[in-house]
Structure 1
Amino acid sequence: MTTNIQDKENTLGILWLFKERYGFKQLPSDLAYEAYLKALMICANGDGTLADEERDWIIGYGCAYDCNPAIIEQLKVYKADEDIETVISGDFAASDSRYFLIYDAIQACCADGEYSEKERAVVLKGAKKLGISEDEFQKIEEIYLETVQLHKKRLAVLFPNGAPL
């Protein structure tokens, strides 16, 4: 079976992205993508409202990381009402990507400009299920907040007259 050059280049790009961000040497399975993205939605829905901005952020994130389009279609209508512990059981608890899951969950929750106590409680519940202590959880939150500030600072320095588009 031959590989389309565009598909090969796309795979190389996605592999580069996963290695750069997560240190992965291979792409996750569809099951891992689905569980990860569903977990993000469940956390963002922790306050009882999955805002359009939150859903859009999570779907955009999945698309950026070349998630299977069939999973993306499911996520467009996913109610995000499953128990976080059920969705993240299995491989996540044994993997270092569990820390990224919590970081990304915080980021997804903040996509609408708010990070409610109810959302935080669901993310913390997931963290505990993954064997992440409350102290480690707070450090992840701090890193996220520092990253937001650094992002703003970087944009201000690199685009002193505002973003070009």
Structure 2
Amino acid sequence: MSTASDDRIVAVARWVCKEHYGVDQLVTKTVVLRNYLVALMEVAGADGVLSEPERQWIIGLATIVGAPQVILDDLQNY
């Protein structure tokens, strides 16, 4: 649940990103985490095979760092 203070912080962050960097969207921690974990999947599969132990290790890492369920599901089906 967001508060008025949280909403103001997001509004200011959006303004700063647009005004100073020309970026219309905020990059969230979740987006960065998903990209990192997918990169790990790509590296693990660089030999042509993403083995189940490699996949489970990355999913375990994602779980430990608090990745949301939607990311865990994406990784399971990657």
TM category (shorter chain) comes to 0.5 to 0.7
Match of 2:20 in 1: none
Q: Which amino acid aligns with 1:60?
A: G
Say if 2:56 is the partner of 1:48.
Answer: no
Say if 2:46 is the partner of 1:60.
Answer: no
Say if 2:30 is the partner of 1:30.
Answer: yes
Match of 1:76 in 2: 76
> Equivalent pairs: percent with the same residue?
37
Deviations 1:36-59 (A, max 9, x none): 000000000000100000000000
Match of 1:96 in 2: none
Q: Which amino acid aligns with 1:59?
A: I
Q: Which amino acid aligns with 1:43?
A: V
TM value normalised by structure 1? 0.31
Q: Which runs of 5+ in 2 are unaligned?
A: 2-27
**CA distance, structure 1, for counterparts of residue 62 and residue 74 of structure 2:** 12
SS of residue in 2 equivalent to 1:34: helix
**CA distance, structure 2, for counterparts of residue 36 and residue 29 of structure 1:** 10
**CA distance, structure 2, for counterparts of residue 50 and residue 77 of structure 1:** 12
How many aligned residue pairs are there?
53
TM value normalised by structure 2? 0.64
Deviations 1:8-31 (A, max 9, x none): xxxxxxxxxxxxxxxxxxxx7110
Superposition RMSD in Å: 1.6
**CA distance, structure 1, for counterparts of residue 46 and residue 56 of structure 2:** 16
